Structure 1
């Protein structure tokens, strides 16, 4: 038998799982790949400003843990996370009004992993998940991979509409509600205290899990902090709070966490064992050392002050850049501004002309679980200087007007 004959009779490899071919990649990642040229002013990414990382402080933390106990720092760790880091996270959470002990916390490899673990632990194929409209894109991906049926909750510039939520909970019988209530991605809006209380009441009344994702909450520029949904009466036994160091320390460390009721937290730990055993030990110990030796809150305040200048620069130039009849959000913190152009505009079709003029944004359509609003777009304002923002908005105006 010849090589040719052998090849001709070889059976094809089995196909990929249906979910692997049905779920597309991240449009944001695709845009970043296209707009990597240095001359492009990139409002598309959700990346923190690298020049503001406390590189010296983080490097010192790594040096210290590696010098003092390299065997531990480079060894396997427990799935739940390093005790020193879990204790520090519990203390920070308690200080912000939500009593928390170390055993309430599971350390994850970025808060994105927390979403995947929760999808594994909570969702069966066909379960219904409620999300905001629009919604954080990677959450939509995580729930879709789990085979969930994702339903958008109507809202307005203040976020989820509590009445619409109540109606959907009764009609759809969802397993969970996912929300980013503070400086939401992609809109930058913040859910009011009254609406948070209404969400908590709906969950308590109808047996609903709440996944409260808070990666941006510490990046407040103005206004008063709004308490977590998890702190409201009736929400404590059904709310999972997600946090992350990606926006306040460094995303490359890939450190997130979840605070959850005991049974769900244990289920997530089992899912994590199957996924990656544990989050890298040296990263956890370095973060714990940084929290012990440095003032993270002071560092975040410096970062937020710079981000506020950049937000103000974007707000100052946005009216001239967008077509007449456009509207946009005014975030009190975070990283994003959301704009809605008149309905005749298609921001997906307009992206290429904008990139050709040296500026990029993210079209709004991928952020919708239901019918997309194709005239929307997301702008990230934190990675450019005010001068670069002004020039980027000038280019954006030229691109949108053809």
Structure 2
């Protein structure tokens, strides 16, 4: 049987690889403490749940939902952005409802790239950013994120021959997996760079609210590109409101880019159930209690987990944002992140994400997702310590 060449680049996936390793560990009797997947274990926003529940009693919400039926949600998004970032938004032309932000980042390259065009992606970075480029027949230029550069790309290092064929750049701060943050001045530099080289600037922004005490709130790319001349930003309610399974997000930005993405979306899917959009409106316009509680829980988990790691001699700098810890592997496991992750889950049941799964520059690191309460995280560290003691 013949399959399209475009799917060959999609055969390796960090989450699929770890899922197989977890399944093998379970089959051998291991109880899994899963720190590999950034799926929040916290309860979804109660105002959203109540509104979705009420919608189920309304038969008018049961049909297909076309673009015009999402206007109330898009207006809410526009108002939320204006209040949060001081950016005026046209909900008719500058907002598009998405089935999670991953849908947008994966589909947008189909609207922007011709076969052979380059996309400039962060390395390490989120896998769906690369997947969409491969599906579009594009090429990837990985922009290295190094600790000595605070995990920010150095635009001047991008070769001129690559820039001559490049059509878009993808950024994402606060960053998954490195947890790095970026300033408004960095985004202004990125906007100027993209303008000078004719690039669309894409910003994936799921961790806007997961920023810990002492850190300023992260900027929107639209604060650096106030005219929305070349930028588009993606947001999801998965992290801030613990609504990952509801698959609700949106794109916001340049009207022409939004329209191009809408054209792709129109041949792929309709929108979600109307009740989910009603719930998202309730979440965005509510008291924001869920956001505050979620942030407090992740901060307490971060503190407990970092303390436990440091106590076993694994020194890690506390992340300033996101729901992850990005940790450089002990010297014994240097450049062996996949081996470390698969052997760890087989031996202890503790599952983590190998840094190599996020890109070449991720090798030598692992990512821990803070998706359990402190006592479970501390137990995981105890198991990690026992594993390290037997492998040195």
TM over 0.5: yes
CA shift for structure 1 position 21: 3.1
Q: What is the rounded CA distance, in whole Å, between the counterparts of 1:246 and 1:81 in structure 2?
A: 22
Select which of 320, 323, 329 maps to 1:332. 320
Cα distance in 2 for residues equivalent to 1:96 and 1:169? 37
Does residue 166 in structure 1 map to residue 156 in structure 2?
yes
SS at match of 1:35: helix
Answer with 306-315 or 90-99: which moved more.
90-99
In the TM superposition, what are the counterparts of 1:1-400 in structure 2 within 5 Å? Answer: 13=1, 15-32=2-19, 34-35=21-22, 37=26, 39-50=31-42, 52-54=43-45, 56-67=46-57, 69-71=58-60, 73-79=61-67, 82-97=70-85, 98-103=87-92, 104-157=94-147, 158-161=150-153, 164-168=154-158, 170-173=160-163, 174-182=166-174, 184-222=175-213, 223-233=215-225, 236-249=228-241, 250-292=243-285, 294-295=286-287, 297-321=288-312, 328-342=316-330, 345=333, 346-355=336-345, 356-368=347-359, 371-381=360-370, 383-400=371-388
> In angstroms, what is the RMSD of aligned CA positions?
2.2
**Larger Cα-atom Rg:** 1
- SS of the equivalent of 1:77 reads coil
User: For structure 2, which runs of at least 5 residues remain unmatched after alignment?
Assistant: none
Secondary structure of 1:275 counterpart: coil
Contact 1:215 1:243 in 2 (8 A): yes
| Cα deviation, residue 207, structure 1 | 1.4
Q: Could you list the runs of 4 or more consecutive aligned residues of structure 1 that deviate by over 6 angstroms after TM superposition?
A: none
CA distance, structure 2, for counterparts of residue 377 and residue 388 of structure 1: 18
Instruction: After TM superposition, give the deviation of residue 215 of structure 1 in Å.
Output: 0.5
TM-score (structure 1 length as normaliser): 0.86
Aligned length: 374
For structure 1, the 5+ residue unaligned runs are: 1-12
Higher mean alpha-carbon deviation, 201-210 vs 103-112, is at 201-210
Closer, same or farther: CA 240–125 of 1 in aligned 2, 3 Å: same
Whole-Å Cα distance in 2 between the matches of residues 283 and 25 of structure 1? 32
Q: Is the 8 A contact 2:107 2:132 kept in 1?
A: no
Alpha carbons of structure 1 residues 148 and 328: separation in structure 2 relative to 1, 3 Å: farther
Asked if structure 1 preserves the Cα contact closer than 8 Å seen for 2:35 and 2:369, the reply is: yes
CA positional deviation for 1:349: 1.1
Q: CA deviation at 1:322?
A: 5.8
- Cα separation, partners in 2 of 1:269 and 1:80, compared to 1, 3 Å: farther
